[in-house]
A and B are shown apart, each in its own frame.
Chain A
Amino acid sequence: MALQDTIQVVEPAEEPKVATDNYEVVHEKSKLFYPEYERKSDLKHQTHYCPGCGHGVVHKLIAEALEDLGVQDETILVSPVGCSVFAYYYFDVGNVQVAHGRAPAAATGLKRACPDKIVIAYQGDGDLAAIGTAEIVHAANRGEKITVFFVNNAIYGMTGGQMAPTTLVGQRSTTSPWGRRPVNEGFPLHVCELLSSLEAPVYIERVALSDNKNIMKARRAVRKALELQKNGAGFTFVEILSPCPTIWGKDPVEARKWVGEKMIPNFPLNVYRDRKVEIPNNNAPPHKTVEEIVSGERKAAAEGMVPGRQHHFREMGIKIAGFGGQGVLLLGQLLAEMGMREGLEVSWLPSYGPEMRSGSAHCHVCLSKERIGSPLLSRPDVLIAMNEISLRKFAAQVAPGGTILYGRERLPEDVQIEHAQVICIPASEIADKLGSAKVANVVMMGALLEETECLSSATAMKVLEAKVKNPALLELDRKALDAGRVYIDHTVAVGAVTQADGFAQ
C-alpha cells in the first residue's frame, strides 16, 4: 500500500522528484565585519580580540601553516563558543560555527562526510575541557582524523572571567572569588595527559605562547599537526597555553610572563604522543546496492507467495502468550509472514521491554482482508496460551465464541471458561517426544491451523523453509507442525469443549 493510496496529499498529486523551489540562501560572513585584516591599517583594533590575546597569535600560526601546506581550499574550520566564536572572520576557508563544546562531534560529522579534507576544531578551555569533555575524549578515542587546537587560557574569557577547569589552584576568578580551592572546585584538568592514555591519537603536544622561543615551538607543533592530517594520519591535538590579559588584569607583556611563570609549571610542555598508529580495519561491511537493502527479503517472499487463497474471515485477531524462550514472539511473526504471503493485510505487535525481562512475552497478530485498524487486540478471536500465567491473565479477553488453545494437557482445576472454546494441547510433551521442547510453538501453530483453518499449512512450510536454514531443524519443525494438526484432528472433535481432563465431550 503506497503512501499515495492512504494519504490525501494536499499538494498537487504529481510532485517533482527534486523540489524546484529550493531555499537558495547561501550564508556568508556578515557584511558588517571587515572583509580583510591588514596588519598595518589605521584601525584601532586589528581584530575583535583584546590586545595581547593569545587567540590572535594562534590564528596567525594556523593561517600560516594552512598557506604553507597549500590547503586553504580544502580546509574546514569548526569554531567554538568562546572568545574565538568569530574565528571564521579571520580564516578564508570553509567555516562551520557550532554549539558550546561540540566542535569535536561536528568535526566528526564533517570529516566522515569529507574524508580527504582538512578539518580543524578550534576550542577554548571551557569549551573543550568543561562542557565538551565527553566529545573531545570520544573523538580522540575513535581516532577521528581531525586536528584540535586547544587554547588554554585558564579562564572563561567570553563570559567575563569565570573559573575554567584549567584555572590554577589559588587563581581568582569571578566564580572562585577567594582563589580556586581544590576542596570545592577540584584540581586543574590536564587534557594532554588525559588524552595520551588513549590508544588512537597519533600526535599530542602542549606548547605555550610565553616567549618567542616557545611561540616558535608552537608554530612547529601547529604545522606538524596539520601536516599529519594532510597525510591521512589520525587524531592530532595541540594544547596552547595562552594569555588572556584582559581577564587576568595584566598588560600583554606581563600576561605572557605569567604564562611562562605560572602556567607552564602547572601544565608541563611536552610531546605527549608522536607515533604512527596502525588501526585494524577488520570485519569491513560488505558492499550492497540500495536496491538490495530496500527490498532485501522481498525476493524470498515473492517465491513464497500463495495467491488466490480464500479466507473464511474478514478479520482475525490472535494473541499469543507464554514465557520468554517459548518462541511466542517468533510464532506470531511466522503467522504474520504467512498471512502476508497469502495476500492478507497483517500486523504483529509485541510486548517489549521490562515485561520480557521478567520472563513473559506476548504478541498480537491481526490477519485481515482490509486495512487493519488497531493492531492492539483487546478482544482476540484466538488466544494461544503457552503457560498457566498467560491463560489466567488473558483468557477473559477472548471474544465470546472465540478459541483458546492452551499449551498444557489440562486446565487448572480452579479455572472455568465458558465464553470460549478451550482446547488443551500438551505441546511441550509432544515437542519433547519429537526431540526438542523448543518446537512446542510450532506444535501450537499446527493446532491453530487445523482448528481454525485461518492459514494453510503449505504456507507454513514455505515460511519455515525460508526462515530455517538447518535441514535437521526444518524437519523437526515439519514434524511438529504435523503433530499439532494430528493432535487436533484425532483427539479433539471439532466444536467440542475440552474439559479439565483434556478430553472432548
Chain B
Amino acid sequence: MQFENVTCPHCGLLCDDLSVNVTDLTVKLADSAHPCAKFFENASIESNTIPTPQISGKSVSEDRALEKAAEILRDAKQPLINGLITDIQTCRDAMAITEKLGGVIDHANGESIRNNGAVMQRIGKVKTTLSEVRNRADCIVIFGSKLSGKFPRLFERILLPKKTLGNKNVDNKKIYILDISTDGTFRIESGENNISRIFFDFPLLESIVYRLQEIIYKSAKNISTIDENTQCLLDLYETISNSQYTTLIWNSSEFNQDSAEQTIQAITESIKYLMQKIRCVGLPLGSSKGEMTANQVATWQTGVPLPVAFMTGTPVHDPARNDGMKMLANNEADCLLWIANYHSEDEPPNTNIPNIVLGHPNMNANNATVFIPCGVPGVDHRGLACRADNVATLPLPKLRNSHLPNANELLRKLKELV
C-alpha cells in the first residue's frame, strides 16, 4: 500500500511530502534514492517476526516485562528517564511517570538545545520559521558547514525552493556558508545558486561570529586593521545592510560547547542591533532527534524546560545538576528508563545500573535489564512531533498493523504499577 504526505521525523525539518510503500512489515520510500530513504527502511521488520519483550536477553510476556520494570523503578532512589527520542504523547506519559517516581527527565541530546534556551531566557531572541525563510529571505548566512549533513533537505525545501512569495531578490537570494579553513588560508568558493562558501583564517568558528559582531557594532570606519578576513566580513555586513530579510542560521553543536551559549548570545545581540534599522532574523537549527518535541512538552506541563527534576515534589530545572548524560557518567542515577522508538540506532548508553528500554523494534538492546520493543511513531501508530523552528507541529501517520505496543500505553501501565 502506498501512503502520501507522510511526515519524516528523522530530522527537525519534519518534511511531510514523502510517498511510502508498505508491504506487510516492510517500509520503503517510493523513491529509493531519496535522502531520507534509509531512515524509513530502518523501520522494516525482517521476516515478519515481531520482536518480543526481554528480561536480560530472555523472551518474556509483556506483563512480566512490565512487572520487572516496575520493580526496578520502585526500588530506585534516583531514577533517570532519558532518551525521549519519541513523539509527543509518549513524552507526555514519560513526564507523568517521572513525576510519580520523583525522578529526573531529560532528552538524550538535551545539552544541545540548552544553549539556545539559555539565551532566550537571558536576553530573548529574534526568530523566524521555515516558511518565512523560504518565502522572504534574500540573504542567508550560515555559520558552519555541517548543517546540510544533519538536515539533508534544507537547501531543496527551505533555502532554494522552486517558487517563493517574494520578489526577484528572494528568488535570487545570496547564500553565505561561513567556516574556518583548515590550512590557514582565507578563501572563497563561489558555486551555483549564488552560494558562496567562505573559509576564514580564524582559529575557531565562533571567531567569525565575534568579528562580525564587532563590525556590526562599530561600523566600517572604526575598524583599524583590515585583513582579508575582516574585509570579507565588512562586505558581508554591507550586503546584510542592503538586504530585505537576512536570516542567520546556526546549529549550536557546531560551536565550541564550553562557550556556545556566549556565541549564540553574540549572534542574537548582533541581530537585535541590526533590527534597529533593517530586518534580520535568526534560525537556530538543532533538533534532529525530537529534542524540541520533548522540550515543548516539558515546558508546557511544568513551566520549565528539560531537564526537569521532581525530587522535591515540584518540577525544578537545574541543568548543571540534572543533565541526563552527565548524571549517568557520574553514577548519579541508580536506574535508567530509556525511551527511543524512532530509530534502531538510538540505543541507550552503556551503563551498569539497572535499565529499562522502551525501544525501536530493531534496536539491539541485549544488555538491557528489561527491553520492550515498541511501535515506531509515524509507522506503527499515529503521533505528533514538533519541528525544529518550534512552531509547526506535524501529525505522524499509522502505516502498518504490527501489533507492537505503543510506548505511551506501556508508560501508562507502568505508572499504575509503580
Q: Do A and B bind each other?
A: no
B interface vs A, CB < 8 Å? none
A interface vs B, CB < 8 Å? none
